[in-house]
Structure 1
Amino acid sequence: MKRIVLTGGGTAGHVMPNLALLPKLRQRGWEVLYIGSYDGMERALIEERQIPYYPVATGKFRRYLSAQNLTDPFRVIKGVFQSYRLLKELRPQVVFSKGGFVAVPVTIGAWLNGIPVVLHESDLTPGLANRLALPFATAVCATFPETMKYLPENKGVLTGNPIRPELLNGSKEEGLKICGFTPDKPVLLVMGGSLGSVTINKLIRAILPDLLLQFQVAHICGQGNVDPNLDRYKGYKQFSFVGPELPHILAAADICVSRAGANFLFELLALKKPHLLIPLPKGASRGDQILNAQSFKGQNFSMVLYEEEINETLLKKQIALLYQNREDYIKAMRESNLADAASEVIRVIEETARARSVRARKK
């Protein structure tokens, strides 16, 4: 049986694309194993899917002063030795890395064993972990066309970002039922990322009475951000977090307001959901969401508002404009060739594994 090791962790964005590949990998006869950190969020997500999980030591590469900067390099070195021994024992045909700091020792450990590594970069510019791992990789899957200029010409492949297949199977009727909505009024879905956004929550709630004249509003506002005082509004449904219900709520949505994390952007693209992006400002991130949003705007997939310029009046106007022009955005997303990213990524994985097998036979 063909064997692949997946790695990546630290945030949901470093795990979800791996999970999105699982059904297709299994359909194509791959045995899937996972190497992650000891206490990262990826461990629970992987183990609940009954995938063998192997933890290794890892450290974070910080851009700021911290006492841990003195100790974490030794954790990374330890992780490299652990990964080397593990991979020598597991003997996969290929390693697929979604990034995050656990991926650095795993990628180096694979390289030391002569095992090819395929990296995947979700954001427009490569993150620090992937930049460190890049010299040890055979191929790098890029999410955005603009990313290709940051990658070695012989390694970069434009694939898009894999999304979880269950998101494509949502029921609009079930989504309306979950929210307590009716089918005769359009639905606006508001999401502020996995932890919610205080800025977006405040703005949406400030204009909520006006929004409800035209829309029903499903608002995923983040843990601890539900406001019980707003339950009095008919047509407004708050969620602190949405799990298995998300495919149905997405199916019910006519338009969306969202942050600009790469995973959710490509979910919106695959589902052809017109959307208004409010990316995290540069002071709150390394600026990747701004670049992600600009790329999608440039491809006519998205409307974009920047947090520095936004106000209640402008937000209300742009939401109305988005709904008015929604068919234009749907048309542009239908014409995109980045929606079937999982198949493209698996093609790169299998070609990389085959090339290694051919080289092995020639020796």
Structure 2
Amino acid sequence: MKKIILTGGGSAGHVTPNLALVPKLKQLGYDIEYIGTRNGIEKKIIKSANIKYFSISSGKLRRYFDIKNFTDPLKVLKGVFQAFFIMKKEKPNIVFSKGGFVSVPVVIAAHLSKIPVVAHESDITPGLANRLSAPYCTKICVTFPESLNKIKDKKGILTGTPIRKEILDGSKIIGRRICNFKEDKPILLIVGGSLGSKFINDIVRESLNVLLKAYNIVHICGKGNLDKTLENRKGYIQFEYVNEEMPHLMNAADIVISRAGANAIFELLALKKPNLLIPLSRKSSRGDQILNAASFEKSGYSMVLGEESLNSKLLVEKVDELYKNRNNYINNMKVSNIGNGVDRIVDIIKKYSIQ
């Protein structure tokens, strides 16, 4: 039996695509293990999937000055040694990396152990972790065609992004049952990313009185971001984070407000859900979500609003416009030739797994 070690962490966007590969890898007979951090979101998600999990040390990779920038490289170095010993003990045939700061020591350790590494980059421009890992990777799968010219040494290969089968198999009926809405109004789903978005949460709650006149609202607001004063608000339900319920809530939604992380927007595309994207601004990110959103807007899959210009009045106007024109967006998504990347990525993993 072949063995694969998966890695990636820091946010659900660096974890859930790994899970999308698991059923196919198991079908092919791979023994699957995971390396992540001790306290990261990946540990809870992976353990709930009953996958063997190893914890290593990892410093956060920052693009800004912080005193921890002087100490975190030591944590990364410690993580390399820990991952190296895991490689020697577990003897995987290949490593698959989804990025995030924990992946860097794992990829380096695999390279030192002469184990091939296949990585995946979701966004148009590679993230810092994948840029640091690239020299040690065998192949780097990308989601957007625009990404290929940003990958050196002809390592890039266009695969699309892996989409969880569960997302595609959700039930609209179960989703509506979970929400238990009393009125039969269109459902607006709001997702601020796996860690939540205070900006989106605040502006949505400012707009609730108007939005609730026309829509039932499902609000996934992130850990610690529940508003207890809204718990019994008619037509409004809020969650910190959802896992098993998410496919059903996605299928029940008529329109969606979302950040513009690649995993989220490709799931919306696969489900043909009209969406309003509010990408993270350049003040709080490297601008990858802005590029992702621009690509989807150009293709006619999404409506886009920048944080800088957004207020509650404009949000309501754009949500109404999105719902009014929802069939145009659905039709554009129906003719998209972008598919689920699971099969293509697994084919590459098979090709480069050592015997």
Report TM bin, short chain: over 0.9
Task: Return the offset for 1:256.
Answer: 0.5
Q: Deviations over 1:268-308 (max 9, x none)?
A: 11211110001111112222221221121122211100011
Alignment TM-score, normalising by the size of structure 2? 0.92
Q: Shift of the alpha carbon at 1:80? A: 2.3
Equivalences for residues 304-315 of structure 1 within 5 A: 304-315=304-315
Structure 1: which amino acid aligns with 2:317?
A: K
Q: Deviations over 1:50-108 (max 9, x none)?
A: 22222333223333333333332233223223333322332222110111222112212
Deviation at 1:228, TM superposition (A): 4.3
Aligned ranges for residues 174-253 of structure 1 at < 5 Å? 174-181=174-181, 184-230=184-230, 233-253=233-253
Letter in 2 for 1:125: T
| 1:94 correspondence with 2:94 | yes
Q: What is the distance in 1 between the residues matched to 2:13 and 2:270?
A: 17
Q: Distance in 2 between matches of 1:66 and 1:238?
A: 35
Change (3 A) 1:51 1:297: same
**Separation in 1, partners of 2:172, 2:41:** 30
User: 2-side partners of 1:188 and 1:70: how far apart?
Assistant: 45
> Unpaired segments of 5 or more residues in structure 1?
358-363
The structure that has the greater radius of gyration is 1
Between the aligned partners of 1:343 and 1:59, the Cα distance in structure 2 is: 33
Judged with a 3 Å threshold, the aligned counterparts in structure 2 of structure 1 residues 55 and 255 are, in CA distance, closer, same or farther, namely: same
Residue identity (%):
53
What is residue 14 of structure 1 aligned with on the other side? 14
Q: Which letter does structure 1 place at the counterpart of 2:25? A: L
Q: Which residue of 1 aligns with 2:138?
A: 138
**SS in structure 1 opposite 2:18?**
helix
- RMSD of aligned Cα (Å): 2.1
1:330-349 map, 5 Å:
330-349=330-349
Separation in 2, partners of 1:170, 1:89 = 39
- 2:117 matched to 1:120? no
Local SS of the residue matching 2:318: helix
Instruction: State how far apart, in whole Å, the 1-side matches of 2:107 and 2:310 are.
Output: 42
More divergent stretch after superposition (66-75 vs 186-195): 66-75
Tell me the secondary structure at the aligned position of residue 223 of structure 1.
coil
1:262 pairs with 2:262: yes
SS of corresponding position for 1:283: coil
Distance in 1 (alpha carbons) for counterparts of 2:224 and 2:106:
36
- Contact 2:11–2:195 (CA under 8 A) maintained in structure 1: no
Q: CA deviation at 1:5?
A: 1.1
- Which amino acid counterpart does residue 251 of structure 1 have in structure 2? N
Q: 1:287 to 1:164 in 2, by over 3 A?
A: same
Decide whether the 8 Å contact of 2:160 with 2:339 is kept in 1: yes
Q: Distance in 2 between matches of 1:249 and 1:73?
A: 41
Q: Is the 8 A contact 1:142 1:157 kept in 2?
A: yes
Q: What residue is the counterpart of 1:361 in the other structure?
A: none
CA–CA separation in structure 2 for the residues paired with 1:47 and 1:97:
18
Change (3 A) 1:107 1:249: same
Aligned-partner Cα distance in 1 for 2:233–2:50: 42
Unaligned stretches of 5+ in structure 2? none
Q: Deviations over 1:210-231 (max 9, x none)?
A: 3233322222233343334445
CA displacement 1:87-136 (0-9 Å, x = unmatched) = 23322221101112221122122112221110111222111111111011
Alignment of 1:54-133 (within 5 A): 54-133=54-133
The Cα offsets for residues 240-265 of structure 1, whole Å up to 9 and x where unpaired, read as: 33232222111110110111122211
Q: Please tell me the residue identity of whatever aligns with 2:24.
A: K
CA contact (8 A) 2:258 2:277 kept: yes
Name the counterpart of 2:282.
282
Q: Deviations over 1:166-196 (max 9, x none)?
A: 1222211121122122684321111222233
3-state SS in 1 of match to 2:6? strand
Give 1:162 shift. Answer: 1.5
- Which whole-Å CA distance do the structure 1 matches of 2:114 and 2:225 have between them? 48
Contact 1:176 1:182 in 2 (8 A): no
Q: What is the total number of aligned residue pairs between the two structures?
A: 355
Q: State whether residues 60 and 72 of structure 2, in contact with CA within 8 Å, keep that contact through their aligned partners in structure 1.
A: yes
Describe the shift of the 1:63–1:224 C-alpha distance in structure 2 as closer, same or farther (beyond 3 A): closer
| Contact kept? 2:13, 2:194, Cα under 8 Å | no
